[in-house]
Amino acid sequence: MICALLLGREGSSGFPGKNIYPVLGRPLAAYPMMVALSCPSVEQLYVSTDSPALKEIGLALGALIIERPDHLASKQALGEHAYVHGYHVIRDRLAAEGKTLELLVLLFANAATVTPQIIEEGIAALRANPAADSAVTVSSYNMWSPLRARKINADGLLDPFVPFETFGDPKTMNCDRDSQGDVWFADMGLSIVRPRNLDHLESGLLPQKWMGRKILPLKQWGGLDVDEPWQIPAVEAWLQAHEVDKLFKVQRIKWAQYYDSERTVISALALNSESTVLDIGDDPGGLGIALRERFGVKSYTAMVADEISANEVKAINPDAALIISKSVDLPSKMDKAYDLVAALQVEDTPDFLEKTIPAAFQRVKVGGSLIFGMRLTEKPTVKDKAISYQPVLCGKGEVEQRAYVVRNTHEVLDALQKLGAARVYGYGYSGNPSSTAKTPFKMVCFTVFAITRSTGERAGETQFELQLPKQLLKRL
């Protein structure tokens, strides 16, 4: 059996809170956790920590928690000893189930530069090389060659950190950073080890003795573990370059992360600190943070399908109120009306226009609004995922084909008029479908609507304000 073990502790003097620092809308530690869980060869993820926040994140994603003892959670404690402790816990649990550990994937909460592909590559390499002790990610940093390293002596002057003679004849050396060949650093993104390494830690090669002595390199570029705030942009660039951010839905938590169409429509609603918001969309938790940042909204409720989703919301937005339900049409659980009901990024769900929108509109206060997005076309609606779909990675390497719904503009407007709203405001722009979508459409209109509940004075009269491409409105 192959398991993964991630380490992370609560305290950090150099960069407090680094393990849960937001990176592309998710806590830093969530990335190595999710990557490990997406690997077909990894059967279980364990998180060893003393941090309540890391425990919440791990549990929300499906990890098992190992309580890290106090003596292994101090600033002086070594990661190698925490790995050995976690290994012993895993080994003993598996033994009780009649199972044995083949390999252990070692991760750090502050090291997100790892992909599912390189984990699978490392596992394959170790299976093909039984004599090897480990496979670890390495990145080439020739600009940090040991030849360039210095230390400050007692007189305040620079000396070579390592005597030049260590590298051969100093007369053959020069200032060219590549003169000594490529310099590979274990970048802490990943160590896949055999259990024997942790059984005999004292035999391992310094400084990371868990790697053993016969170490296979898994070459990549730009890998690093985060110890300083200035490293965060480098990690974000790495995740985007390797498209790790596309493997999983990125939680949007900042106002600037929302699309221009979403910001335009929401800004037209005059939200303030007294506004009440119900979020039934696909950014639960994050939208509340963004609305608080931009408009000072304090009262935010997210509707989620299960306890796992609820834990994930609480991990990023502890102030959010929660409703656990799979349907918005539940009066007994939702007897409150809201100034704003948001249904963003759920337009591909079944019967969204026919059932979800009318039910959600019933949760809107008089004078309040429902906002949602849709893809529009002047052509006939396509909802059949056999014709128009988008592949989505759901974890453990499983890919689900989800419908990529594109609706006829007039069909949508006719349905919205039947709601009896006072106002329908739509803002949209034309663009190419997602690069991962398989659809017959070459262009679609990405549109966000806000429909406002009538105050009763002009019930039945719907005012349309549409900022959409002209070709979509030819028959209006």
β-pair partners for 338: 364
**238 and 264 fall within a common domain:** no
Q: What is the CATH number of the domain that holds 412?
A: 3.40.50.150
Residue 388 forms part of a structural domain: yes
pLDDT by residue for the chain (476 residues), tens digit each?
Answer: 999 999 999 977 788 999 999 898 789 999 999 899 878 789 899 999 999 999 988 887 778 999 999 999 988 899 999 999 999 999 999 999 999 999 999 999 999 999 988 999 999 999 999 999 999 999 999 888 888 899 999 999 999 998 988 888 888 888 887 877 899 999 999 999 999 999 999 999 999 999 999 999 999 999 999 999 999 999 999 998 887 866 665 567 778 778 889 999 999 999 999 999 999 998 788 899 999 999 999 999 999 988 888 888 887 888 999 999 876 655 445 568 999 999 998 999 889 999 999 999 999 999 999 999 999 999 999 999 999 987 665 544 455 778 999 999 999 999 999 999 999 999 999 988 875 678 999 999 999 999 999 876 555 689 999 999 988 877 54
Q: What is the CATH number of the domain that holds 210?
A: 3.90.550.10
Gyration radius (Cα) of the chain, Å: 27
Predicted structure pTM score? 0.57
| Residue among 372, 379, 375 nearest 358 (CA) | 372
Cβ pair 458, 418 in contact under 8 A: no
**274 and 234 fall within a common domain:** no
Q: Cα separation of 370 and 367, whole Å?
A: 10
Residue 165 forms part of a structural domain: no
Residue 161 forms part of a structural domain: no
**239 and 293 fall within a common domain:** no
**272 and 402 fall within a common domain:** yes
CA angle 136, 138, 141 (to 5 degrees): 165
Spell out the residues 6+ positions from residue 21 whose beta carbon is closer than 8 angstroms to its own. 15, 27, 28, 226, 229, 232
Residue 38 forms part of a structural domain: yes
CA distances 340 to 265, 320, 387, 447, 450, Å, are: 12, 15, 34, 18, 9
* Residue finishing a domain among 197, 227, 247: 247
Q: Which two tokens stand for residue 458?
A: 């002009």
Strands (E), 153-239: 158-160, 184-193, 215-220
**198 and 262 fall within a common domain:** no
**262 and 231 fall within a common domain:** no
Domain that holds residue 343: 255-473
Residue 146 forms part of a structural domain: no
What's the number of domains the chain is made of? 2
Spell out the residues 6+ positions from residue 345 whose beta carbon is closer than 8 angstroms to its own. 281, 282, 283, 373
The dihedral built from the CA positions of residue 212, 213, 218 and 222, taken in this order, carries a sign that is positive
* Residue finishing a domain among 225, 247, 269: 247
Residue type (1 letter), 15: F
**311 and 417 fall within a common domain:** yes
pLDDT digit string, tens, across residues 398-420: 557 789 999 999 999 999 999 99
**277 and 388 fall within a common domain:** yes
